[in-house]
C-alpha cells in the first residue's frame, strides 16, 4: 500500500513538471510569411533619374522650401532666389516681404540696381533670422578701381551685418584688383562667399590663375534660347556653381519664350505653367535660378517646382530649342 502511494505521488509530480514546461504556455513566435515575388513578363523600364544632377538633389526640395547647394566656400545657398532687378522703393520692399512668406530665403541685388537700401530694410524687417537668409550683391566695373570703398558702400546701404555673396558684375578694367579686395573682405568677415557674373570659358581661364580664392559661383544669362551648355559643363567640372539670370528670357523676350509650342505642350502634360517648365529644366541641369517678380502669384509659381519631374525626353526637347540667342549685351 505504501509503495503504491509513493508510485502514485511520483507519477503526479512528473505530470505537473511536464505541464509547467509545456511549450504551449511560453510566448509563441510568429513567422512572417513573405510572398514569393514573380518577375513580370513585360517589366516597364524605369525612367532615367534626373532629380540628382551632381550639384544638388532636387528630391530634397518641397514647394516653398527649395534645397540648398553647398558652395566651395563651405556655406549653403538656396537654389531658388528672388531677383530684384528693376524693383525699387515700396515695390521692392513689398516684393521681398511677400517672397519671404512664400518660402524664399535668397535675394539678389547689385549696386547697379540702385536698390540695396530697400533690400536691406526688407531683410531687417521681414521677421526671419538674418542667418537664415542669403543675400547677394555685385560690384559694377565703374567701381573696380576703388573696390574697397565700393564694398563698404554696399555693406552700409544693405546694413545687414555681412554679405553672403558678392560678385563682380561683369569683366572690366581692374577686375582682378577688385576681386582681391573682395578676398580681403572675406578674410575680415564682411563677405562670406565671392564670385563673378558674365564670365565665360575664356574669361574664367584667364581669370582663375590670377586670384587666390576660386569663385564659388558664376551668374550668367541662361534660358532655353541661350543654354551655354559648354559653359555650364566647364563650371561644374571646376566646382563652380552656375546661376542663370533671365531664366525666362529677359526684357522683351519673356512672352515669346513662354509661348513656345514645345514648352507649352510639356507644360500641359504636367499641368504646370510654361514658366515652371523652364525653371524646372534649369534646376535639372544643375543651374541655380533667380527669377524676378513683384507678383506674389508668380513668386509662388516660381518656387513650386518640386512636385513634378521632366523626363529625359522632355529635357532633350527643350535642349533642342537652343538658338545661341543672347538677350542682353554682356
Catalytic positions, please? 113
3-class DSSP state of 82:
strand
- CA proximity to 238, closest of 219, 259, 214, 221: 214
Q: What stretch of H or E contains 58?
A: none
Q: Alpha-carbon torsion 166, 293, 55, 236, what sign?
A: negative
**Do residues 134 and 77 make contact, with C-beta atoms less than 8 angstroms apart?**
yes
Give the cell for residue 165. 555673396
User: Checking DSSP bridges between strand 106-108 and strand 68-70, what pairing results, if any?
Assistant: unpaired
Count the Cβ atoms, other than its own, within 10 Å of residue 261. Answer: 8
- Whole-angstrom distance, CA of residue 317 vs CA of residue 41: 31
Q: In what order do the strands lie in the sheet with 217-221?
A: 82-83, 106-108, 134-139, 163-168, 191-197, 217-221, 241-245, 287-289
In sequence order, the 6+-apart residues with CB closer than 8 A to the CB of 83 are 108, 245, 290, 291, 292
Residue count of the chain? 330
Q: Please state the φ and ψ torsions of residue 72, each to the nearest 5 degrees.
A: -65, -15
125: left (phi over 0), alpha (psi -120 to 50) or beta: alpha
Place of cell 543672347: 326
Amino acid at each position: 500500500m505504501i509503495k503504491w502511494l509513493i508510485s502514485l505521488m511520483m507519477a503526479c509530480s512528473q505530470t505537473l513538471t511536464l505541464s509547467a514546461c509545456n511549450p504551449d504556455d511560453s510566448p509563441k513566435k510568429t513567422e512572417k510569411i513573405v510572398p514569393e515575388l514573380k518577375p513580370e513578363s513585360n517589366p516597364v523600364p524605369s525612367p532615367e533619374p534626373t532629380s540628382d544632377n551632381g550639384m544638388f538633389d532636387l528630391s530634397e526640395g518641397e514647394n516653398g522650401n527649395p534645397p540648398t547647394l553647398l558652395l566651395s566656400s563651405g556655406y549653403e545657398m538656396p537654389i531658388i532666389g528672388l531677383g530684384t532687378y528693376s524693383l525699387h522703393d515700396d515695390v521692392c520692399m513689398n516684393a521681398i516681404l511677400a517672397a519671404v512668406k512664400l518660402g524664399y530665403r535668397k535675394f539678389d541685388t547689385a549696386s547697379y540696381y540702385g536698390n540695396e537700401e530697400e533690400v536691406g530694410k526688407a531683410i531687417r524687417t521681414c521677421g526671419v533670422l538674418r542667418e537664415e537668409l542669403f543675400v547677394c550683391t555685385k560690384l559694377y566695373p565703374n567701381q573696380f578701381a576703388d573696390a574697397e570703398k565700393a564694398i563698404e558702400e554696399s555693406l552700409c546701404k544693405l546694413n545687414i551685418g555681412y554679405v553672403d555673396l558678392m560678385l563682380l558684375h561683369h569683366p572690366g578694367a581692374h577686375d582682378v584688383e577688385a576681386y582681391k579686395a573682395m578676398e580681403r573682405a572675406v578674410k575680415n568677415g564682411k563677405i562670406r562667399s565671392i564670385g563673378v557674373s558674365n564670365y565665360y570659358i575664356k574669361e574664367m581661364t584667364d581669370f582663375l590663375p590670377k586670384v587666390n580664392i576660386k569663385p564659388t559661383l558664376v551668374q550668367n544669362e541662361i534660358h532655353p534660347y541661350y543654354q551655354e551648355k559648354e559653359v555650364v559643363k566647364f563650371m561644374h567640372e571646376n566646382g563652380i556653381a552656375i546661376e542663370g539670370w533671365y531664366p525666362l528670357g529677359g526684357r522683351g523676350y519673356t512672352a515669346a519664350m513662354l509661348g513656345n509650342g514645345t514648352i507649352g505642350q510639356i507644360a500641359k502634360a504636367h499641368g504646370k505653367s510654361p514658366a515652371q517648365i523652364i525653371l524646372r529644366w534649369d534646376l535639372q541641369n544643375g543651374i541655380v535660378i533667380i527669377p524676378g517678380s513683384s507678383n506674389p502669384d508668380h513668386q509662388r509659381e516660381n518656387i513650386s517646382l518640386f512636385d513634378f519631374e521632366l523626363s529625359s525626353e522632355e529635357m532633350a526637347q527643350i535642349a533642342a530649342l537652343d538658338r545661341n540667342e543672347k538677350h542682353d549685351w554682356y
